[in-house]
Amino acid sequence: MPKIGRRLRDLRIQKKLTMKEVAEIAGIAQSSVSYIETGNNSPSIETLEAILTALGITIGEFFAEEKPELEPELRQLLDTAKKLTPEQRELAQRLLDALSKD
C-alpha cells in the first residue's frame, strides 16, 4: 500500500469514518476510495482534495512533515539561543562542543 493510500486509510480510521461515508462526503465512488487506500490507484489532485476535505484536513496539513516535539529543556535552550548575538552563539557552540567531548 503506497504511502498516500496508507495515510488516507489511517486518517479515515482515526476519524471513525467508513469508506462509504468518506466517498459520499467527497462525492466519489466507494470503490475509488478503496482503490486509493490499497494503492491500486493514485488519486488526482482534485480527488485527493475531496477526500481530505471529507476527512477534515487540508492538502498542506496532509503533506506537512511531522516534526517531533522537543523536550522542554531543549526547547528552553533553543529559545535562549535565539536571543543571543552571533558572537554569543559562537561562544555557546564552542562551550557545548567542549562539554560534549567529555
Domains of the chain: 3-63 (1.10.260.40), 68-102 (no CATH)
Cα 47 vs. chain centroid, distance in angstroms?
Answer: 19
Check: CB of residue 77 under 8 Å from CB of residue 92.
no
Q: Give the model confidence (pLDDT) of 37-69 as tens digits.
A: 999 999 999 999 999 999 999 998 898 865 667
Give the tens place of pLDDT for each residue, 68-102: 677 889 889 888 999 999 999 999 999 999 998 86
Contacts of residue 47, Cβ cutoff 8 Å, sequence gap at least 6:
26, 28, 32, 36
Q: What is the pLDDT of residue 68?
A: 67
The whole-model pTM stands at 0.63
Cα–Cα distances (Å) from 54 to 10, 38, 74, 76, 86, in that order, read: 14, 18, 37, 38, 47
